[in-house]
Structures are given as structure tokens and as C-alpha cells.
Amino acid sequence: MLLGLVTLTGCHSAEYKQKVEWKRSYAAERARLQTESQRMEEGLRQAKARFVERYGRYQCTRDDVPQTDESRGPGHRFKSMQLGDHVTLKLKLGKATHADGSPYGPTRTASRYQLLWDGKLVAEAESLYSTGNEGSSGNRIFYCPKDHTVVVYDDLCWSTQRFCVFEKSYVPGTPVSWRVQYFNVPEQPTAQPLPDLAKILGVGNGRIYVEYDGQPYALPFDDFIETKLEFTVG
């Protein structure tokens, strides 16, 4: 009888120790997660503060944003789109070339977005898309009717993006011409490993208007020029 009581007491003691140890482990894990969450929140707060410090001079109001028409296209399957009364945007697909000869090396394409004014070709810009492109793709087109600015955003396989802008260039004493530039948009501060594209509010007046953390920014194209057009997917 005594032996049975000792054995039973020992079992209860082992169960009690297991429960205590589990509670300690649970409390320690909760504390670790809370500390990690606080660390991430502080990191995000600091990142947002650095962003405002760097780009705060570009802040504007919603009233500053020009009227802009936005359209979405099917990426490499895009053909042609009429923008306003005079402007037509077309995509002429070409082949992709790879700098190192492999199918995954630094890439350029012979594809061109073509901008036509009253049916006349006035400017071209290189596209990410190419013939034989089987990857997922999509594009967004922004058009400002006031000054006829056109911005095209290419998204290839959700991992490679490019902005290009067509603008009328007014130089006193010379005929009206068009210029093409490639540019980037700063990534918005986020705790996510892959930040989402900032919300685009409009284009025009030499700028792209985007929203970060509820605050509109007017980013001049000239301040965010991208000159390297080689790209890799992924």
C-alpha cells in the first residue's frame, strides 16, 4: 500500500514539474514574441522617420494632383490604346537579348512602346516584355490630359518593374518635341519583406504623385532617373 502511494505521489510530482516547465516555456515564448514585435514596430517607426527626413520636401496636398486617367493592360499582350484626342500608345514586341548568353542573365529587349500624336510616331521607350514571354505580366498606363504626360508601368512576373515617362518638351524658339525617361519610385517603409508599390495618385507637371502612409508626395521625374535598363527576372 505504501509503495503504491509513493509511486502515485511520484507521478503527480512529475506531472506538476512538466506543467511548471510548460508554463515557463510558454511565458518565455510570449515575452520573446512581444519583444520581437516591439523591435519591429520601432524599426518601422524609424524607417518612416528616415523616409520623411529624406523625401519630406516632396510632400504636397491632394489639390496639387493633376487630373489623371489610369488604364490597365495585359502586359506583353498589350497592343494599342487611345489616350485623349491626339495620343495613341502602342507596344511593338521584339526579342530579348542576354548579356552573358544564358536565358537568365542581364536582359535587354528590342520591344518598344510607341507614342503617336495624331497618328505620327513621336517617341519610343523600351519595354520589359518580349516575344516568347510566357511569364505573368501586366501594365498600367497613366495619362494627364492637361499636358499629355504619359507614364507606363511594366510589371514582369511580380518581381521586375519599370516606369517610363513620355513628356512634351517645350524649348522656346524650337518645334515641340517629346522626351522619354525611365525612373523609379521610392519604396514605402513597411515591415513586410516585399513592399507593395506606393499608391499612384496621378502624373503631370514633370512629376508623379504618390501616397505614402496617407501623405501625398510630388516626385519630379528628373530626381529619380533610372539609367540602367538591364534587368533580371526574380
In total, how many domains does the chain have?
2
Residues 42 and 113 in one domain: no
Query: How do residues 29-75 score in pLDDT, each as one tens digit?
Result: 676 666 666 666 776 788 888 999 999 999 999 999 999 999 999 98
Residues 51 and 72 in one domain: no
Question: CA–CA separation, 199 vs 68, rounded Å?
Answer: 13
Beta bridge partners of 163: 153, 183
Residues 113 and 210 in one domain: yes
Residues 96 and 29 in one domain: no
Question: CA–CA separation, 117 vs 66, rounded Å?
Answer: 21
Answer with the one of 32, 58, 84 that is the final residue of a domain: 58
Among 141, 138, 146, 140, smallest CA distance to 88 is for 141
Query: How do residues 197-217 score in pLDDT, each as one tens digit?
Result: 889 999 999 999 999 999 999
**Beta strands of 127-206 (E only): which ranges?**
137-143, 150-156, 160-169, 177-183, 199-204
Residues 28 and 115 in one domain: no
Residues 68 and 126 in one domain: yes
**Domain around 39:** 2-58
Residues 156 and 137 in one domain: yes
Answer with the one of 28, 58, 88 that is the final residue of a domain: 58
What is the pTM assigned to this prediction?
A: 0.80
